[in-house]
Chains A and B, each alone.
Chain A
Amino acid sequence: MDFSELSHQTEIRDSLDKILNEYCSQERLKEYDSNFKHDENLLSLLSTNGFLGLGLNEKYGGSGEDLYDLGILFERLGYHAAPLSLSGCLVDVAQTIQKFSNEESCNEILSSIIAGEVYTSAILEPSNQDPENPITTAKMEDNQLIISGTKYLSEITSIAKSLLISVNSDEGVLLVLVDSDQVQLTELTSTANSPLFKVELDSVRVNRESIIHEKGRGLEALRYLIQINMVMRSYIALGVTEKMTSLIAGYTSEREQFGRVIGTFQAVSHKAADCFIELECLRLVNQQASINLNSNLDCENEALVSKIWAGNACHKISYSAQHLHGGMGVDKDYVLWRYCLLAKECELINGSSSQNIDRLGKNLTTNQ
């Protein structure tokens, strides 16, 4: 048992904070409130400093396969509300390929991701509650797949080289890399102004070689992708809620009413303490899930538990933070409001707490 961070992990956190403090100032974030929310300068700086290789094996130029390292990156991106959406690229594509693709694809794709090339994924589908069972289909024709269907909430797709897509076929579930110029994109406008897209595939033809995994391992790879995405997005939620909680502590320790700082009222400090408890729980379940995924490709229940806590913490801490800040909490000249938007995005992407409670409950009552 060891809950301590290794020294290199603390260094990752510290040096990320240095960069992100500069790149995520209020002034800079303002620029992305209505524009395409992707800071390519920041992305290339992260690449130059080796942060895009977190969680990837040294032989591809990464810094080691520990998923907790990668979790720190997403936590800090969340904490600083960074204008970067990287879970499709660094989690879905990079991690799934690392675990399920051959050496050649790993060499090619992982090293280009580390160098700053953008990939993404398109997994979720409108009106499909079960991402493990895609509605998007691939027909086999000779050595080709013909893919049709609609995906959504795909990140930064307009600047991505290729997309990793989940499809159903005669051979079961497949994960396929498709070039982005083969699909039709529509930018979606979403609550946190994240760069999310609808992706339409109308009889898109790709070669069999575009399937990233061995024959018969598609469902396993997709399940892994979904789980690791849940956990890494829960790290974004952790950063977002950590920031909101520290804003609560700071603001209520300074704001005076009735001749004293409002943090000295129990009604206020206890609401803050509840946020702290929620945050501690989220941190721990995230740590457990990411560490278990290091050595086990299937940790569905741990991933669900972390997602459930993330959804609940985002909701509770966001509204507590807004409430305790009074009008400041909703003032767009103050910092909090962006986090409230991100919190709602974190809460709902990959399914709400209720939906995941349903899924976890099924697992608990049937699988054991």
Chain B
Amino acid sequence: MLIQLNQKQIKLQNELQEYFESLITPALRAELNEPEHFEGGGPEFKKAMRTMGSDGWIGLSWKKEFGGKELSPIEQYIFVETVMRTGFPFPFLTTESVGPMIAEHGSAWAKEEIATKILKGELIFGIGYSEPNSGTDLASLQTKAIKQTDGYLINGQKMWTSLANFSDYIWLATRTDFEAKNHKGISMFIVPTDDPGFSMSAINTLGDVRTNATFYDNIHIPENHLVGELNQGWSLITSQLNLERLALVNHGPVEELYKDVLKTARSTKINNDQYLSDLSWVKHNFAQVHSGIEALKLICWKQTWIMESGQLNMAEASVAKVYGSEFFIEAYRLMMEIMGELSILKNNSELTILNARLERMYRTASILTFGGGTNEVQRDIIAMAGLLMPRTR
């Protein structure tokens, strides 16, 4: 057993830190501070993605045939962790969860055209799972793909299609067999957003993160846009979600925030000879956050290590998701308590601290307890796969 990064990996971490310092230019920072670009999608963002791609960073653990470097998932995790620490809205769902599924199960066209371009930082995906009447019960989805002589005809509506406003494609779950029950009869497609049948309307959220309702009106796509076997899409969805769950709870950003809050507390004078960090309750909050981050880091490292040897275990991916998402909420609260009233000041206000990161983060925190598979379902999975208890109903 060895639970630490090796010398090479620490070197990689340092190298990446330096790399991002030069990659994230003032112009990019300024763009990312514009509300419509919080999640990326602007010209500077696109430029940075392509630079990361051509510098070979996005696909560290990917196979060489796609342009990757065939390093381990640990190196891949370090890359994502480090880029996320910078606050850059890295589209990790595209690169860490949809991308690997396409690389493994896509058609020859998809492997060549899509997977390789994801690694070059040229493509962004939105994920089309939820529908107005299908959320947690995803298998009840109604969006249809009907077989034609030369491909499929797609009709339907998706909800919460984040990033669709600047995505090139949607990773779309459709029903292809209308007789089959539940999880059978679902197929996965790559759907281009430049099709005239594709449209969307914005949904503005509490965290000022834009998401979208997306509409698919008689979109015709060729056969090679099907990923995996026809009617066998459910296993792709669950595999993608396992990868997504791990990527969602990466420990980098919360640890970075913790460090910054600690630094701020240690330099904030509360009277002539005392700093904020001298108060015992402040110390307690830091200790709570720190011991929580330690567990999260180890959960993520272990998951990543498991990926090296094969498939993610369902129970453990769900542990990561439940623990991480609920810990984030608690951690933001504890850190906002430390900074007190100052932490409710917004980014454009005077006296704002830490670029109002706390003020934004707490508003986005709730998404993770239900997004990526609601925590109730995750707990069902843990009880079933981890504790071998009977299926709940």
Instruction: Tell me the A residues contacting B by CB distance below 8 Å.
Output: 1-6, 9, 68, 245-246, 248-249, 252-253, 261, 263-266, 269-270, 272-274, 276-277, 280-281, 284-285, 287-288, 291-292, 301-302, 304-305, 308-309, 357-358, 360-362, 364-365
When the two chains form their complex, are residues B290 and A277 in contact, meaning their CB atoms are under 8 A apart? no
Contacts of B322 in A (CB 8 A): 273, 277
If the complex has contacts A1-B5, A6-B1, A285-B294, are A365 and B262 also in contact, measured as CB distance less than 8 A?
yes
Q: Can you pick out 5 interface pairs between chain A and chain B where the beta carbons lie within 8 Å of each other?
A: A1-B2, A3-B305, A249-B389, A280-B316, A361-B282
When the two chains form their complex, are residues B3 and A361 in contact, meaning their CB atoms are under 8 A apart? no
Looking at chain A's contact residues, the main secondary structure is helix
Instruction: Tell me the B residues contacting A by CB distance below 8 Å.
Output: 1-6, 9, 74, 262, 265-266, 277-278, 280, 282-288, 290-291, 294-295, 298-299, 301-302, 304-306, 315-316, 319, 322-323, 376, 378-380, 382-384, 386-393
When the two chains form their complex, are residues A272 and B383 in contact, meaning their CB atoms are under 8 A apart? yes
Looking at chain B's contact residues, the main secondary structure is helix
Contacts of B283 in A (CB 8 A): 358, 361-362, 364-365
If the complex has contacts A249-B389, A287-B3, A364-B290, are A276 and B302 also in contact, measured as CB distance less than 8 A?
no
Contact among A246, A277, A280, A364 with B287 in the assembled complex (CB-CB below 8 Å): A364
- Counting from the closest, the 3 A-B pairs by CB-CB distance are A361-B283, A269-B383, A284-B298
If the complex has contacts A284-B295, A288-B3, A358-B280, are A2 and B305 also in contact, measured as CB distance less than 8 A?
yes
When the two chains form their complex, are residues B387 and A249 in contact, meaning their CB atoms are under 8 A apart? yes
Q: How far is the CA of A305 from the CA of B282 in the complex (A)?
A: 17
If the complex has contacts A3-B305, A365-B262, are A291 and B2 also in contact, measured as CB distance less than 8 A?
yes
Look across to chain A and name the residue whose beta carbon is closest to the beta carbon of B303.
A3
When the two chains form their complex, are residues B389 and A272 in contact, meaning their CB atoms are under 8 A apart? yes
Q: How far is the CA of A4 from the CA of B305 in the complex (A)?
A: 9
If the complex has contacts A3-B305, A277-B322, A285-B294, are A272 and B287 also in contact, measured as CB distance less than 8 A?
no
Contact among B6, B388, B391 with A264 in the assembled complex (CB-CB below 8 Å): B391
When the two chains form their complex, are residues A277 and B291 in contact, meaning their CB atoms are under 8 A apart? no
Q: How far is the CA of A361 from the CA of B279 in the complex (A)?
A: 10
Chain B min CB distance to A28 (Å): 28
If the complex has contacts A6-B1, A365-B283, are A277 and B305 also in contact, measured as CB distance less than 8 A?
no
Q: How far is the CA of A81 from the CA of B280 in the complex (A)?
A: 37
When the two chains form their complex, are residues A285 and B379 in contact, meaning their CB atoms are under 8 A apart? no
When the two chains form their complex, are residues A281 and B295 in contact, meaning their CB atoms are under 8 A apart? yes
Contacts of B305 in A (CB 8 A): 1-3
When the two chains form their complex, are residues B291 and A365 in contact, meaning their CB atoms are under 8 A apart? no
Contacts of B319 in A (CB 8 A): 276-277, 280
Q: How far is the CA of A248 from the CA of B389 in the complex (A)?
A: 10
Look across to chain A and name the residue whose beta carbon is closest to the beta carbon of B388.
A249
When the two chains form their complex, are residues B380 and A269 in contact, meaning their CB atoms are under 8 A apart? yes
Chain B min CB distance to A213 (Å): 28
Contacts of B286 in A (CB 8 A): 361, 364-365
If the complex has contacts A272-B387, A281-B323, A288-B3, are A360 and B287 also in contact, measured as CB distance less than 8 A?
yes
Chain B min CB distance to A283 (Å): 9
When the two chains form their complex, are residues A273 and B390 in contact, meaning their CB atoms are under 8 A apart? no
If the complex has contacts A273-B383, A357-B288, A361-B280, are A253 and B302 also in contact, measured as CB distance less than 8 A?
no
Contacts of A357 in B (CB 8 A): 284, 287-288, 291
Q: How far is the CA of A266 from the CA of B9 in the complex (A)?
A: 42
Contacts of A2 in B (CB 8 A): 1-3, 305
If the complex has contacts A264-B391, A266-B376, A273-B386, are A360 and B291 also in contact, measured as CB distance less than 8 A?
yes
Look across to chain B and name the residue whose beta carbon is closest to the beta carbon of A284.
B298
Q: How far is the CA of A265 from the CA of B392 in the complex (A)?
A: 6
Chain A min CB distance to B134 (Å): 20
Contact among A266, A301, A361 with B392 in the assembled complex (CB-CB below 8 Å): A266
When the two chains form their complex, are residues B380 and A266 in contact, meaning their CB atoms are under 8 A apart? yes
Q: How far is the CA of A274 from the CA of B389 in the complex (A)?
A: 13
When the two chains form their complex, are residues B387 and A245 in contact, meaning their CB atoms are under 8 A apart? yes
Q: How far is the CA of A6 from the CA of B294 in the complex (A)?
A: 24
